Amino acid sequence: MNRLFRRLPAVDVLLAALSETETFRNIPRTLLRDAINAFLDGKRNAVRNGTIRDEKELALAALLPELRDFVRTARYASLRQVINGTGIVAHTNLGRSLLSQKALDAVLMAGKYYTNLELDLRTGLRGSRHSHVEPLLCRIVKTEAALAVNNNAAAVFLVLDTFCRGKEVILSRGELVEIGGSFRIPDIMTKSGALLREVGTTNRTRIGDYAQAITENTAALMKVHPSNYRITGFHEEASVRDVALLGKQRGIPVFVDLGSGNLYDFASHAAAEFACLSQDEPMAQRIAADGADLILFSGDKILGGPQAGIIAGRKKYIEVLKKNPLARVLRLDKLTLAALEATLELYLEPGMAARHVPTLNMILLPEPLLRQKAEKLADILEAALKNAGAPVTARIRPGCSRIGGGAFPERDLPTSLVCLEPTASSFTVESLRAALLHADTPVLGRIEDNGFLLDPRTIAEEEFPLVAKSLQQAAAIAHDSELSEK
Ligand SMILES: *Cc1c(COP(=O)(O)O)cnc(C)c1O
């Protein structure tokens, strides 16, 4: 073993060898050294556990190609581009919404140049960062005032902390939901110091249940959109309109956590699959019109903007929220504000939003167009597979996409899928999935039966060549591991 250890090339020898290539010369030497040390550690372990027995395997020429690959991989940024072939449009694990070109341009501007973030250009005096999106939100949602914070969880917390600390909030048992990522409505209430007063039952809550629970210690009536969860069958809930009316009669504010929050009128589409979406995700405009005092929703779910939490409603409440020191803790940064303003501006004209906000655009892709995209993707992938001599076929089959982001949990949108099927017994669909995950640009999809499914709804045409490249890499990785098994 010691003899083998001594055969391992020195760090400086490997460093010099790598530095002969342009790609590696541009990497800071300390980082290269770290990567080489990690690589050598791996080799020492392989010697220790007997995987490497032959000193030929430790020769410089034998190690170099592997080292280059290792350093290249070690140099990946932690946050990387991936291909979303899952068909889930606002996929929380994949960063939810993509930004429109207008929003991207705004982010670039705000990052590259100084801005009037907190400067009033009319007076030259100090301004408010809230001023950039508030007028737009008021115009779109049709409320007196609005405030945007870090995310919707922050919005809920800020509202509870401001108005409900030490007091009771009345909420239906059917709305005590967990959204995922450990956001549970009861927990966030406890944390804010608000006292949860549950009313009704899991499946049925009537307006009378709210009315009966009101005491002098009631700070608010609250409704929460159940998001990724649905009660069907014997079910009844009080409408926002009824709860708002009750609140008005008794002088108690009504807060509605809409979750996803939707500003787009899906009912304006004749196609049944789109028209029905507005039942699941009522427009924020409608909830405001129904009389809610504050409505809260995410910026990066169906809205299709950057991560943000939007609070829209009565001025007398929004002004109090702005003065809470927590609003400073939860405030938006300039890049997000820039992206949010640009995204909201598109909503001033719904047709523009549908065309240019990627989340809306992907949801609204018509079936025939998806079929065309699938055919094009399948052609490109087939050519790549043939080129690589990979034992995988690509064909098209009908299927469904999901919208994600906790919205529309039961709505499937029809789509055409590209189905990749391994044809060699040694190359399973599971190994194809793993290999695609480890490609330079990881590709994510779904496994069903014996196929790896890619949904063109969430893959841009400009990404098709990248998918082909990753598939070729995956075939090569799978091929290599097959050889090493033999
Ligand atoms: C998603 C969601 C949240 C959390 O929103 P984030 O923007 O992810 O913080 C809160 N409430 C409901 C009902 C949701 O659906």
* CA gyration radius, the chain: 27
Q: Is the per-residue pLDDT at 279 higher than 60?
A: yes
Ligand 1 pocket test, pick from 91, 151, 179, 332 with the greatest ligand atom count within 8 Å of Cβ, gives 179
Percentage above 90 pLDDT, the chain: 76
Q: How far is the CA of 380 from the centre of ligand 1 (A)?
A: 38
Q: How far is the CA of 216 from the centre of ligand 1 (A)?
A: 30
Average model confidence (pLDDT) across the chain: 93
Q: Is the per-residue pLDDT at 484 higher than 60?
A: no
How much is the average pLDDT of 106-124? 98
86 lines ligand 1 (CB under 6 A): no
Q: Is the per-residue pLDDT at 285 higher than 90?
A: yes
How much is the average pLDDT of 219-239? 88
- pLDDT attached to residue 77: 81
Ligand 1 pocket test, pick from 158, 183, 310 with the greatest ligand atom count within 8 Å of Cβ, gives 183
The fold of the 83-92+364-485 domain, in CATH, is: Aspartate Aminotransferase, domain 1 (3.90.1150)
Q: Is the per-residue pLDDT at 32 higher than 80?
A: yes
- pLDDT attached to residue 425: 82
Residues 329 and 335: beta-carbon distance below 8 Å:
no
Residues 262 and 282: beta-carbon distance below 8 Å:
yes
Give the 3-state secondary structure percentages of the chain, helix then strand then coil, rounded to 5. Answer: 50, 15, 35
H or E element in which residue 224 lies? strand 218-224
Give the atom of ligand 1 at the shortest distance from the alpha carbon of 407: 15
- pLDDT attached to residue 481: 59
Q: What angle do CA 388, 393, 399 make, to 5 degrees?
A: 135
Distance CA 443, CA 18 (A): 29
Residue 277 confidence class, pLDDT cut points 50, 70, 90:
confident
Q: Are the folds of 83-92+364-485 and 101-356 the same?
A: no
Beta-sheet pairing, 218-224 with 195-199? unpaired
259 lines ligand 1 (CB under 6 A): yes
153 lines ligand 1 (CB under 6 A): yes
Residue 113 confidence class, pLDDT cut points 50, 70, 90:
very high
Which residues 6+ apart lie within 8 Å of 422 measured at CB? 391, 392, 428, 429, 431, 432, 450
Distance CA 331, CA 342 (A): 18
Is the whole-model pTM more than 0.85? yes
User: Tell me: the pLDDT tens digits for 135-171?
Assistant: 999 999 999 999 999 999 999 999 999 999 999 999 9
Q: Give the residue extent of every domain in the chain.
A: 2-74, 83-92+364-485, 101-356
Query: Among 300-314, 341-355, 378-392, where is mean pLDDT lowest?
Result: 378-392
Domain 101-356: state its class.
Answer: alpha beta
User: Tell me: the pLDDT tens digits for 46-105?
Assistant: 999 999 999 899 999 899 989 988 888 887 788 999 999 999 999 999 999 999 999 999
CA 357 from centre of chain:
15
Q: Is the per-residue pLDDT at 408 higher than 80?
A: no
Q: Is the per-residue pLDDT at 338 higher than 90?
A: yes
Instruction: State the SS3 of 157-192.
Output: HHHHHHHCECCEEEEEHHHCCECCCCCEHHHHHHHH
404 lines ligand 1 (CB under 6 A): no
- pLDDT attached to residue 278: 79
Give the atom of ligand 1 at the shortest distance from the alpha carbon of 298: 7
Q: How far is the CA of 382 from the centre of ligand 1 (A)?
A: 40
User: Tell me: the pLDDT tens digits for 385-394?
Assistant: 999 888 999 9
Nearest protein CA to atom 5 of ligand 1, as residue: 152
- pLDDT attached to residue 485: 52
How much is the average pLDDT of 104-109? 98
Pick from 203, 115, 189: nearest CA to 157: 189
- pLDDT attached to residue 227: 81
What six digits make up the tokens of 15? 């460093």
Percentage above 70 pLDDT, the chain: 97
- pLDDT attached to residue 479: 65
Residue with the bigger pLDDT between 134 and 473: it is 134
